[in-house]
A and B are shown apart, each in its own frame.
Chain A
């Protein structure tokens, strides 16, 4: 309790420190914030190590209910993940400050955002939770809107994000208030105790409301539309926190809903699984076809959260008939959440460094950064390998566990669950392939080859702090990949709080073992095997290649005899994704615009050809735009209601009062 108060106090202090003069502002705030993160992380580690929740209650600070703290191992896992991501983001921020990130408002918003992210999982009752949740949402909104004065895209992103996050918060509030109304007090433990007495229909409705509310925070399709905008427009340290820490809390919320409401009916998890599958496929498809590096990463976040929700749904579906697979799915989900936080923050920080050095996010205008920015390229490659789930990185172990739980969950399942599980596995497989396409494109086009623009050509490696920050999270990806045993005890303690571990999952320093399911994997051995195989192939090639003494001649790439081989002859991100876009033409419905203008004298001679293709979000275009257009029309119509007559306004008030009284009575 005292340590958490310390975290909150230091966080507020860091927020206020933003008022000091500019020269020392970022360093001071970052220093204090580092302290906040270390204390928060250490507290979380203590909770996970001792397996004892930190519980406390004070009746001060918030009227009527006070503040209730309940940092369970589950919450501690999320706090710890956030702390690691936030440490990297803060270090990155110190270098990034040139980019207008050092103003009073942004520095304080950053401090407040980090503090609230660390504390949300520690909330022990509805009011504390919602207050912290709102602080988190509003401070991140300030960060997203950082460049609002200059860029229209930023303003748009801020509007979308603000509207979506407040809509989500309204649903969450509704769901929690309904539950709280039936409990002895608003604490989560009291709610969990009383929720089982509620009628099944109410519990189902509350679950749906919470699923949509928290799902919008986690970036589940179709509530994902804010994600590609906000993540792309926010400054890099903030995008890393949005994607590496904040979306996790959406998942935390769904797990929280399960702890409050119990496992519930099968249909709950079929609905959740449906959104998971849609998000995974939709996110990975758009990631594979996006050409904006940060948009690509944002869609990939949507995709990963989809996979996480698939895992959660599997856990819920299997709970009735296969406790081992159910608990394994939950652990796998949490492993995936932490893995995602680490690799996605690596990628976002790396992408931020690229943007800092080149002022570009468009892959088609990058290229050749491997030579000019070797450290940044290296961390991006590690992140890309991890997100593509290749051993020995942490993404591999996470997805292996999810697949294991799905496959083993089939035994004893009823037909509906069996079909759902088959769909989950298929979605996982397709997503895996599309993710690899997306990241081969990102690394191949963005970092290899030759520079495609002036700014990429003259890119210089970023300041030290911005190189160190993503290297920290990248190192964590490697460490948890080769030695999953480091985290698996903590993660299974976190999941024990929700469903006891029956899978017999243990992890040695180098691999996973599933006693109950007789299955094991050793990512390190797999990776070493792959390296050994590569060496053998290289050796064989050398032995069978040109005789020793053959002379090696280096000549420019073949450009059909042309004297200039320009960087524009290279494969672009757009052309790389084109075949895929063609295959999924009906789903993506990209918009092409070809405009040919002819010479006045003859239609046989073309004067100018203009071609534009846009691959904007189809959910936004087909679902949100019409609704927004309708709202705009209604808004204009409604102006007629307000004609300036005070008598009329008084009449409105009276009518509304009468209606309210009739409804209430």
Chain B
């Protein structure tokens, strides 16, 4: 998919421990500054090219996650960020957990790590922005 150096991201916390959020914060902070490579966080799925999902999907967040995905214009991407998003990580088997992100919406890219290092996140995003 050709995004022409611009990737608008909508972030959904589907039940993360917030470790991943801290790394996302630093990805868009002054050190890594992912906006240089064309990635940007937006406030509504209506404006987004890609959904950035963290955490295992809890029962309460399964439906909002799906609605967010459906509310996005096509073509759309889903990035599962962190081990929890990939396979429920340390929360696997928890009573509140409905499943991994891929069980709810189709995933295009996974970023491993608990949490992933900002370097890894940036390099993953660069695969879409080509910068």
Contact = CB atoms under 8 A, between A and B. Distances in A.
A563 B74 contact: no
B68 A561 contact: yes
A563 B45 CA distance: 15
Interface residues of B, number: 12
Q: Does more than half of chain B's interface fall in helix, strand or loop, or is it mixed?
A: helix
Interface stretch (B30-38, B59-67, B80-88, B110-118): B59-67
Q: Does more than half of chain A's interface fall in helix, strand or loop, or is it mixed?
A: loop
A562 B44 contact: no
Given A553-B74, A555-B71, A562 B64 contact: yes
Nearest to A558: B71
A562 B74 CA distance: 21
B131 interface: no
B46 interface: yes
A561 B10 CA distance: 12
A558 B44 contact: yes
A558 B64 contact: no
A563 B63 contact: yes
B22 interface: no
A555 B70 contact: yes
A274 to B, nearest CB: 49
Interface residues of A, number: 8
A167 B116 CA distance: 81
Contacts of A560: 64
4 tightest Cβ-Cβ pairs between the two chains A and B: A561-B64, A561-B67, A558-B71, A561-B68
A560 to B, nearest CB: 8
User: Which of B65, B67, B68 has the largest count of A CB atoms less than 10 A from its CB?
Assistant: B67
B83 to A, nearest CB: 24
Nearest to A560: B64
A553 to B, nearest CB: 7
Interface in A330-380: none
Contacts of A553: 74
Interface string B42-75: 0011100000000000000001110110110010
A563 B66 CA distance: 10
A555 B76 CA distance: 15
A318 B75 CA distance: 66
Interface in A182-224: none
A558 B46 contact: yes
Interface string A542-560: 0000000000010100111
Contact of A563 (B46, B67, B68, B70): B67
Contacts of A562: 64, 67
Interface string B65-107: 1011011001000000000000000000000000000000000
Nearest to A553: B74
Contacts of A555: 70-71
Given A558-B71, A561-B67, 4 more contacts: A558-B44, A560-B64, A561-B12, A563-B63
A222 B54 CA distance: 62
Contacts of B71: 555, 558
A558 B63 contact: no
A560 B45 CA distance: 9
A560 B46 CA distance: 11
Nearest to A561: B64
Contacts of B44: 558
A561 B71 CA distance: 9
